[in-house]
Amino acid sequence: MTLNRSYYCRNAPRWMPLLLDIILVVLSLLLDVRDLWFKLRWVGPHNTFSFSTVDMKILPASNAAPLQPTTSFSYANQKLQRDSGWSSFLERCESLTPLLEEDKTRSFRHAVGKNCLIGESTNPIRATDIVLMSSISVDSVAWAACELLYKHRKPPICHSPIVTQFQERYNFQDKLATDSLISESAGELPKGTIREIYAAAPGRDTETELIELLELISQSSPISATVCVEGFIVKGSGAYSTSIYGCGSPSFYRSVLIGSAAPMISHFLRDKAWLTSDNLEFMGMTFLIRENHRSMFTMHDSTKGNGKRVLEHRSLLNVSASGSLYIIMVLVDLGLLGFSICSVVEISRYMLWALWKPLVASEYQTSSARTTKLGYGVEDYTRVLQIGLLWSTPIALLTCISRLLTWMLVIPSVHLWSDGIIGGGGTHALLTMIRFYDLVILCVNIIWNIFVAFDEKGALAFVRHTYVSPLEVMAISATVAVISVHLGGLQIYGLMRDQDRQRLSDRSSFGNATAIANAFVVRQNTTVAPFDVYYPLLVTIAIGALAVGVFTVLRFHLASSMPSRSLVRGSACAVQPSTAESSLSATSPSIPQGLTRSSAGILKQPVSSSSLTREELTGSGSLPTSVEATHLDEISEDRLPVENMIDNPIRACSLVRRSWALEKLSDGQLLLLPASYLKYGIVLLGKSMKTRCGFMDTVQPLVHSHEHEKLNELENEPHQIIARNASKPNLR
């Protein structure tokens, strides 16, 4: 048995589409709340270490080829300038074997040192195997070492900007490391002053190691090429924490690896791995992004049973945002969330509440809830709750501001995926990136509005045969973004680190590998150029808009080659046969109950009888679900009255919409669907219209003659009272 559309409409629960809309809108609002919570909690001004990455390295065999320096060294402290200080660690170790990255670039950040000397130069300790990782910046080591020395024992470098401006440079809270040290050491160290708890005693081995380390840093040139490492002594399988810190000079063949001072200095450096900061400035306002890691190491045997050992390097990553632009971003997101909630409440109150009770009370009785006072059927209100506010100029500007500032948080997120992020952090970062499809929609709208301005009728003819939905734009934008990530188009993070020298790449010190290290920026302000930051975003938006255009043109050609499909929706599910026949028997277009003649002239446009025959309108006892496309240009080629009223070609501009339907035929009248009104800032209130929340004066108030006379009387009444009082004589 074949079920036709009218049978389905009479027997299907007609409240299901509206319920689905409510669920989708609630999910959308929850995603907005999640995005705001992500920006405050996961990447907010406080350290949270919410992200986690894991890097697996197979330790080299005993016969593995070590690093071969391109220059020969004759003695310690030999003056020889190089691109980095990585090769200086050969002054303390017999050999260094790299643990190469898996990106086929033969680069390394980890190395295994053989027979290395640890401690002060006069009394070192030899370790058979140590693992070193170049993740500590030289300014972090200098600051931490100076914090462990008494004031009168500090060398001159402790009073230089590299140390004194360290906390300001990375926006660390005052006494953050000190308070953390006290809280963890309260049960181990005797009570006393803060200086007595963490300062190195004068004359001890700890102080000697720290002074030698600071001396090496101060003599190195340039300081930004100095490589500092963290590591541990390999003693078998198990978990390890950092027990070795050291630095290698790029200008002298010299390095220092401290051991006895490591337990104290680790309290200051444990969360300073891969410490970087970026500062975006605009009109005196700043957006500061800080990234820092905590390292944890685990050594275990390979699960493949080949006898090899595996180094599992787990990093807890923190991304902190601060500054006036960050505050503006949060406030803008709060405002957009408030507008979205206000819009949902407004649509539900004025447009959907009157439909809900009749629908629930008469689930299968279409006659009691078939139309509203304006002649719309229940199916015409499908997806109206999902109509966003992007077509409002103020909301569009706020959305652009929010997305552009959020891009500063997306840059490290892309880097996290390339490093193998695990846990929920990747999901949150992905959901934040998906929201950038709004910019693609805005770009498509701007380009299409330009076409409409040049040829409005041609644009209207085009949108009658094709459309693109916001979900399709989101899918296309996400596909373009994923392809860009895989092709390296969004790898701006590495380019920024190379340009601002916060990541050091040494390709000349070793002939068979490239050494990577965390570096210190010599200049005080690491301000990034806006063009360098937003160029990948602009390219992605442009490619996304181009892909949307290609998709729309393909749909247009596909629709043109197939049987004509109209964008005019009928009322098969809303009007009974008797209703349709009675409406057509009238000699003139009827006005729906509760709609004044002035409003009917604005909202509706009569359709001439020459355009549509009686058979076309009454086939099978109901209004048609579609009308031949050849009739469309005849019945509504010019603007509708409501389009003239707001001076906006709503239909011609509706390339991006949520359904194929664009117009509606009811009782010989042509109407826009409620979604079209909402998209351009009009809320239908039965007898009148009002400007939608988030729009500015879309609907101008109409003042009738009797209302104008009443207002004049109220305005003149105070003057009459004053005149009467003035006519009375003053008897005082």
Instruction: Give the DSSP letter of residue 650.
Output: T
- Whether 261 maps to a domain, the answer reads yes
Torsions phi, psi of 515, nearest 5? -90, 130
Is residue 623 situated within a structural domain?
Answer: no
Whether residues 353 and 382 fall in one domain: yes
Collapsing DSSP to helix, strand or coil, 599 comes out as helix
In a domain, 335, yes or no: yes
In tens, the pLDDT along 368-389 reads 444 555 566 667 777 778 888 8
**The predicted structure's pLDDT at residue 46:** 79
Q: What is the CA radius of gyration of the chain?
A: 36
Give yes or no for a contact between 79 and 251, defined as CB atoms under 8 angstroms apart.
Answer: yes
Residue 620 within any structural domain of the chain = no
Q: Are residues 466 and 485 in the same domain?
A: yes
Q: What is the pLDDT of residue 353?
A: 74
Same domain, 300 and 269: yes
Q: Are residues 371 and 474 in the same domain?
A: yes
Pairing verdict, β 503-506 and 125-136 = unpaired
> What mean pLDDT is reported for the chain?
75
For residues 381 and 427, state if they share a domain. yes
Residue 466 lies in a domain: yes
Whole-number Å distance between alpha carbons of 119 and 141 = 16
Q: How far apart are CA 135 and CA 145, in angstroms?
A: 17
pLDDT at 229: 94
Is residue 573 a part of any domain in this protein? no
**Closest by CA position to 402, among listed 320, 322, 306, 327:** 327
- Which pLDDT does position 6 carry in this prediction? 47
Task: Find, among 230, 268, 226, 305, the residue nearest to 519 by Cα.
Answer: 226
Q: Give the pLDDT score at 639.
A: 79
Question: Are 34 and 59 found together in one domain?
Answer: no
241, 345: one domain: no
Assess whether 20 and 118 both reside in one domain.
no
Handedness of CA 32, 38, 40, 41 (dihedral sign): positive
- C-alpha to C-alpha distance for 702 and 708, rounded to whole angstroms: 10
d(CA 512, CA 530): 36
356 and 231 in one domain?
no
Distance CA 478, CA 360 (A): 38
- Chain length of the chain: 732
- Which pLDDT value is given to residue 87? 92
Final residue of a structural domain among 264, 288, 322? 322
Based on the fold, state whether residues 318 and 330 are members of the same structural domain. Answer: no
Residue 723 has pLDDT above 80, yes or no: no
- Please check whether residue 333 lies inside any domain of the structure: yes
Q: How far is CA 699 from CA 180, 673, 689, 702, in A?
A: 59, 17, 7, 9
Each residue of 684-697: pLDDT tens digit?
Answer: 776 677 888 888 87
User: Residue holding tokens 């190469």?
Assistant: 100
pTM above 0.75, yes or no: yes
How far apart, in Å, are the Cα atoms of 665 and each of 45, 568, 570, 607?
55, 7, 5, 9
pLDDT in tens, 231-290: 999 988 889 988 899 999 999 999 999 987 778 888 888 889 888 888 888 888 888 888
Q: Look at the chain and report how many structural domains it folds into.
A: 2
Residue of 93, 211, 193 whose CA lies nearest to 148: 211
Last residue of one domain, picked from the residues 322, 339, 355: 322
When pLDDT is cut at 50, 70 and 90, the band that residue 621 belongs to is very low
- Residue 374 or residue 645, greater confidence: 645
Are 314 and 372 part of one and the same domain?
no
- Listed in sequence order, the residues at least 6 apart from 65 whose beta carbon sits closer than 8 Å to its beta carbon are 97, 512
Question: Which regions of 347-447 does DSSP assign to beta strands (E)?
Answer: 421-422
301 and 400 both lie in a single domain: no
**Is the model's pLDDT at 498 over the cut of 80?**
no
Q: What is the pLDDT of residues 541-554, one digit of tens each?
A: 999 999 999 999 99
Q: Alpha helices of 490-609 — where are they, by DSSP H? A: 492-499, 530-561, 577-585, 597-603
Task: Kindly tell me if the per-residue pLDDT of 132 is higher than 90.
Answer: yes
> Which of 297, 322, 347 is a domain's end point?
322
Q: Is residue 564 part of a domain?
A: no
Strand, coil or helix: 623: coil
Which residues constitute the domain of residue 261? Answer: 51-63+76-322
Give tens-digit pLDDT for 659-675: 777 777 766 677 788 88
For residue 313, report the phi and psi dihedrals to the nearest 5 degrees.
-105, 105
pLDDT digits (tens, 9 = 90+) for 69-97: 888 888 888 898 998 999 999 999 999 99
Task: Kindly provide the b/e burial profile for residues 657-672, where b requires at least 16 CB atoms within 10 angstroms of the residue's own CB.
Answer: bbebbbbbbbbbbbbb
- List the structure tokens of 653: 């501009």
pLDDT number for residue 373: 56
